[in-house]
Homo-oligomer: A and B are copies of this chain.
């Protein structure tokens, strides 16, 4: 008799689950129809990119973006919209950099940009012999004797055979190249831009100093210039490099995360966070990095409100400030959560570009992952077939210590580093429907977690 009862309840459970999934699939279809037909994500992105533009932390534009997205969240129907304060670094590029290669009397200007957070050169610039290394092993084998007084050119190309990990592999020369070179007495650093693309766009991005090592100026050149210089250095011995950079660090500035919230109807204390980062580098419009994540989170909030569904748990769309050069917003958000004993059950970030979504990254315990994956059939009509265990994002990362389940929108990634931190990261590089379908995915997963918990 026990066995029969068990069977019966199993059937009921499966039946209930099927019914729920059918209903959820209709709810998600409704979100999708609304976003694809009436969506505001694309126009909001146009505003961020074209009316505001670059939004580096501490800049006037970053503040404009705070105000604009607060307005967008209100228009999207958030129950409450508020600003969460954080102090942010204020690095400025100053007048456009110069970089000139000189061999004998022949000079050639390179397409360059200062690395973010770099110190500037003296006002007159610096001039020194340039020495190429492919990697840290080559640098170390040269030793202080050959590096001292020189400008080190880290010419490490992103490894093409790495399907996805090429950026993580190559970026160490940008983040710590200046420290490693300065340890051996170098006076400046130039890195090959971290991108697979062969073009004339220099890519910026943060570099990090170590207070116990002299801070030397660091610049990135375009990959085409790197290829040219590599060929030159193979035939010429005494190549001089002049670099002039006007960047500097100003005092920290008051800034904000922007938060729009829908209060949960049944379990308001359980909080779900969805977001991206509001700041961008200063060279472009920050379209894919990360305007798209911002407008997708606003759109998800709008679609949930527009559906008339009152979510059971609290949902927040968070525009994090200062991901690029400090992560102050991400830390402020998690610090507030910890100090106020907030219960953050789930956080999802979209910060890998607004391209077509391939999968949803997920985290959590095996049981939580199993629950999340049980919803995968609801995503296949939108071209999402996988939920790999790689959920997370820089801004939501600090929540991890609170036990929050981490998730991410994982888009097609191959085009991303062609424009990442570079002047071609513009509105025109975003496809309206790819962007919108990312918002659909975000809306759907947040809705499901709100409905069923984790």
Residues of A within 8 A of B (CB): 32-33, 36-37, 160-161, 163-164, 196, 355-356, 358-359, 380-383, 385-386, 388, 412-415, 418, 431-434, 437
Residues on B with C-beta less than 8 A from A412 are 355-356, 358, 383, 412, 434
Task: Show 22 A/B contacts (Cβ-Cβ < 8 Å), sorted by A.
Answer: A36-B160, A36-B161, A36-B163, A37-B161, A160-B433, A163-B437, A164-B383, A196-B432, A355-B356, A356-B358, A356-B413, A356-B414, A358-B383, A380-B386, A385-B385, A385-B386, A385-B388, A412-B412, A412-B434, A414-B434, A414-B437, A418-B431
- CB pair B358 A385 closer than 8 Å: yes
> Using Cβ atoms and an 8 Å threshold, which residues of chain B touch A433?
160, 196, 414
A356 to B357, CA, bound (A): 10
B380 touches A163 (CB 8 A): no
Among A386, A415, A431, A434, max chain B CB count under 10 A is at A386
Q: Which residue of B lies closest to A415 (CB)?
A: B431
Q: Which B residues are CB-close (under 8 A) to A418?
A: 431
CB distance from A418 to the nearest CB of B (A): 7
CA distance A163 to B37 in the complex (A): 11
A49 to chain B, nearest CB (A): 17
A213 to B52, CA, bound (A): 56
Q: Are the CB atoms of B386 and A161 closer together than 8 Å?
A: no
Contact yes or no, B33 A161, CB < 8 A: yes
Q: Which B residues are in CB contact (< 8 Å) with A383?
A: 163-164, 358-359, 412-413
Min CB distance A381 to B, Å, is: 7
- Docked Cα-Cα span, A418 to B36, in Å, equals 16
Q: What residue of chain B has the Cβ atom nearest to residue A386's Cβ?
A: B385
In the assembled complex, which residues on chain B have CB atoms less than 8 Å from the CB atom of A358? 356, 358, 383, 385, 412
From the candidates B163, B385, B434, name the one contacting A415 in the complex (CB within 8 A).
Answer: B434
Contacts of A381 in B (CB 8 A): 163
Whose C-beta in chain B lies nearest to the C-beta of A412? B356
CA distance A283 to B434 in the complex (A): 26
Q: How far is the CA of A413 from the CA of B383 in the complex (A)?
A: 9
Q: Are A32 and B164 in contact, CB atoms less than 8 angstroms apart?
A: no
**Complex contacts, A382 vs chain B, CB 8 Å:** 163
The reply to whether A32 and B161 contact each other, CB–CB distance below 8 Å, is yes
- Whether A160 touches B37, Cβ cut-off 8 Å, given contacts A414-B434, A431-B415, A434-B415, is yes
Chain B residue numbers with a CB within 8 Å of A32 are: 161, 163
A63 to chain B, nearest CB (A): 32
Leading 8 A-B pairs by shortest Cβ distance: A385-B386, A356-B412, A385-B385, A414-B433, A33-B161, A36-B160, A414-B434, A36-B161
Given contacts A196-B433, A412-B412, list 7 more A-B pairs with CB under 8 A: A37-B161, A163-B381, A355-B412, A358-B383, A385-B386, A414-B434, A414-B437
Docked Cα-Cα span, A433 to B380, in Å, equals 24
**Smallest CB-CB separation from A39: which chain B residue?**
B160
Contacts of A161 in B (CB 8 A): 32-33, 36-37
- Using Cβ atoms and an 8 Å threshold, which residues of chain B touch A413? 356, 383
- Chain B residues with CB under 8 Å of A355's CB are 356, 412
| Contacting residues, chain B, for A386 (C-beta < 8 A) | 380, 385-386
A220 to chain B, nearest CB (A): 21
A383 CA to B37 CA, complexed, in Å: 29
- Most chain B C-beta atoms within 10 Å of own C-beta, residue among A33, A37, A160: A160
